[in-house]
Amino acid sequence: MSTLRNLTMACALMAISLDPAIAQTAPSQPTAGTYEPKVGQEGKDVVWVPTPQALVDRMLAMAEVSKEDYLIDLGSGDGRTVITAATLGVRAHGIEYNPDMVALSKRNAQAAGVEDRATFIQADIFESDFSEASVITLFLLPDLNLRLRPTLLDMKPGTRVVSNSFHMGDWRPDDQIDAGSECENYCRAYKWVVPAKVAGEWRLGDDQLTLTQTYQMLSGTLVRNGTAHEISEARMDGTNITFTAAGMRYRGSVDGNTMTGAAENGDARWTAERQAD
């Protein structure tokens, strides 16, 4: 299975004129302090290809990282995303299966003077708890993204997930960014914001709001005075909700079983409470 995954990435690597044989070589042995990784070297579930630095910079900008964030890179390679985040003052952590790459990352963090904020662990991302992160970055493969998707969707609402090159199946991205004209390969990244879970019945004043949710997209009805109004332009952005119903544009934020906000073209603030099933 591992060979198959590595071959998959090796096929992609052919597009960057790399000898695909490199992608099938065994991992090199640790040689303290002198280890030099090779693009395309075997990894547990995917080979190592570094994200171009220009894209790392833009991925972090798209994620709008701040000093309040805790970033985790899943499959952190030589540590470049974690170290770049740390140089911006962000606490950041890399999970990487290859122990040589972990040691290299630690040396790179030290050389950059950010070893206090940039930490690394040798571990399998599929056996790791990364639920404390507020930003997840990854550069894996489409099927690995899909394996991670349920865990990502269960993270704290508002968590930003940024993937180099690969999608999340039918969970459509909220944003995307290109690395710019100097980047030649793997130059686009996508962002998703983990949506709060709002599907179900809500009491909004005297009205009944029924929401159906597919990832960040919402549909449903607002029943007012016995008349059902279909909601439109309805979506989540983390904990923020927007929808239009009965001629009013609603904006609010969700906190557990309560939503509060203001109607855009009315002056009334509104509150909704989740109804028990």
Ligand X SMILES: C[S@@+](CC[C@H](N)C(=O)[O-])C[C@H]1O[C@@H](n2cnc3c(N)ncnc32)[C@H](O)[C@@H]1O
* Footprint on this chain of ligand X (rule: CB under 6 A): 43-46, 48-51, 73, 75-77, 80-81, 95-98, 101, 124-126, 139, 164
- Residue closer to ligand X (CB basis): 107 or 235: 107
3-state percent breakdown (helix, strand, coil) of the chain, nearest 5: 25, 35, 45
Half-sphere exposure of 236 (CA within 13 A, CB side): 29
Q: Which is nearer to ligand X, 55 or 259 (CB)?
A: 55
Is the Cβ–Cβ distance between 33 and 51 less than 8 Å? Answer: no
Please tell me whether residue 112 adopts helix, strand or coil conformation.
coil
CB of 252 to ligand X, least distance (A): 36
Q: Which residue is nearest to ligand X (CB)?
A: 75
CA dihedral 132, 135, 139, 142 (to 10 degrees): 80
Instruction: Specify the residue, 139 or 202, whose C-beta has the smaller distance to ligand X.
Output: 139
Which candidate, 250, 195, 196, places its Cα nearest to that of 222?
250
Q: Which residues have CB under 8 Å from 44's CB, separation 6+?
A: 2, 97, 98, 124
Least Å distance, CB 93 to ligand X, is 12
Task: Tell the smallest beta-carbon distance from residue 35 to ligand X (Å).
Answer: 13
Nearer to ligand X, 76 or 119 (CB): 76
Q: Measured from the CB of residue 50, what is the shortest distance to ligand X in angstroms?
A: 4
| Minimum CB–partner distance for residue 178 and ligand X (Å) | 16
**Nearer CB in complex with ligand X: 97/202:** 97
Nearest CA-CA partner of 158 in 238, 215, 235: 238
- Cα Rg, the chain, nearest whole Å: 22
Work out how close the CB of 103 gets to ligand X at its nearest, in angstroms, rounded to a whole number: 13
Q: Closest CB to ligand X among 19 and 124?
A: 124
8-state DSSP, 206:
T
Q: Token match 């952590």: residue? A: 93
Q: Which tokens go with 193?
A: 């914001």
